[in-house]
Amino acid sequence: MVHAPARPARDLPPVTVNLYSDTQTRPTAAMKAAMMAAEVGDEQAGLDPTVDTLCDRMARLTGKEAAVFLPSGTMCNRVALLAHCRPGDEVLAHATAHVLSSEGGGAAALGGVQIRPLTGADGQFDVAALTEAVTARSRYQAPQTLLCVEQTANLGGGTIWPVAALHAVAECAHAHGMATHMDGARLLNAAVAAGVPAAEMAAGYDSVWLDFSKGLGAPLGAVLCGSDDFIDRAWMWKQRLGGSLRQAGICAAACLHALDHHVERLAEDHENARLLARDLAQIEGVAVTPPQTNLVYFDADAAGLSAAELAKRLRARGVMISVLGNRLRACTHLDVTRAGVEQALAAIRGVLAAPR
């Protein structure tokens, strides 16, 4: 049977509710004004005062000595692994971690580093799983030099690592001679939801970064934090990878605006996610994982629709969600209102009620 090609995006209705990702946020008018008013200079030469202000603030926020501004969170992970490891080293991370599943094999391609996947529920692992994965130091084994955790755990359902668990695995890693790194793309989502300061969550980690282009609503930018020595090494890799910038204060100003105005409101995204999950669970044939932050994972297999097909039919109704494996993910964020959640729910009900 020959299937007709999918309609080009231009033939689809406009996206009216974008639950695809919190990367879909657009800068607010106030953020744009802050960007246009930013004092700028040559960031690569250390002459951009707005970038310097952002890095100083992020170092304080995460409890570290220094910080470096980078274009993206993926580059933060890449630079961190390159700064911590040497070719042939081994990194330990959860099997679903972004650094392993979503970065195009960058650890191996650019750093010659292999990643040993750890298992555990909800994108997290415990000390027992970590200890079991530790190998004896010998010329036959790759040196295990780095442990990575992801806060929140995206593919784990946007789950929040408890502080005690974070400290425990970091202490175990350090005891085995490893450095520790936190992929903190949504660290402030975790901090706001748990009521725990970011610095406390990151206390056991030698490096940590925060992404500003997700729930915080900036158009781009991430900041990697660590010791003075680590950031010196990170700067070398930033230069090598082409991440050094010029008048980057325009972008850093958006990040500073986000810290001032978009952190506490993350609680609204979490509440909208809970409302979305609650009402999705009442739809026959829909299975929902209760969200801890702004990510709602669900499927409609029991209703007779695959994740891909449901996403396709919702897009035809102006609602955009993502498909990750055999699950659907709806992500609430700055540009999704309570009314948008209700509109998405109506669209899902409509699709599932329509004749197949």
User: Is position 32 within any domain?
Assistant: no
Q: What is the pLDDT of residue 3?
A: 42
Same domain as 230, residue 83: yes
Choose among 184, 189, 191: nearest CA to 163: 191
| 355-to-3, 22, 147, 183, 314 alpha-carbon distances in Å | 19, 32, 50, 44, 14
HEC sequence for 287-321: EEECCCCCEEEEECHHHCCCHHHHHHHHHCCCEEC
User: Is position 343 within any domain?
Assistant: yes
Non-local (6+) Cβ contacts of 172 within 8 A are: 127, 130, 131
CA–CA dist 168, 93 (Å, integer): 15
Same domain as 192, residue 272: no
Question: Do residues 301 and 287 touch, judged by C-beta distance below 8 A?
Answer: yes
Same domain as 197, residue 248: yes
Mark which of 219, 240, 261 sits at the end of a domain. Answer: 261
Same domain as 50, residue 21: no
Q: How many CB atoms lie within 10 A of CB 226?
A: 28
Q: 139: domain CATH number?
A: 3.40.640.10
Q: What is the pLDDT of residue 327?
A: 95
CA–CA dist 89, 49 (Å, integer): 37
Query: How would you write the pLDDT of the chain (356 residues) with one tens digit per residue?
Result: 334 444 555 689 999 999 999 999 999 999 999 999 999 999 999 999 999 999 999 999 999 999 999 999 999 999 999 999 999 999 999 999 999 999 999 999 999 999 999 999 999 999 999 999 999 999 999 999 999 999 999 999 999 999 999 999 999 999 999 999 999 999 999 999 999 999 999 999 999 999 999 999 999 999 999 999 999 999 999 999 999 999 999 999 999 999 999 999 999 999 999 999 999 999 999 999 999 999 999 999 999 999 999 999 999 999 999 999 889 999 999 999 999 999 999 999 999 999 77
Q: What is the pLDDT of residue 1?
A: 36
The residue ranges of DSSP E strands in the chain, in sequence order, are 17-18, 66-70, 90-94, 114-118, 144-150, 179-184, 207-211, 222-226, 287-289, 295-299, 319-320, 322-324, 327-331
Query: Beta strand pairing status for 207-211 and 295-299?
Result: unpaired
Mark which of 216, 241, 261 sits at the end of a domain. Answer: 261
Name the phi and psi angles at 5, rounded to 5: -65, 150
Altogether, the residues listed in the chain come to a count of 356
Instruction: Output the DSSP codes for 55-73.
Output: HHHHHHHHT-SEEEEES-H
CA angle (246, 248, 254) in 5-degree steps = 170
Same domain as 48, residue 118: yes
Same domain as 245, residue 270: no
Q: Which amino acid is at 342?
A: E
The whole domain housing 224 covers 38-261
Q: How many CB atoms lie within 10 A of CB 197?
A: 14
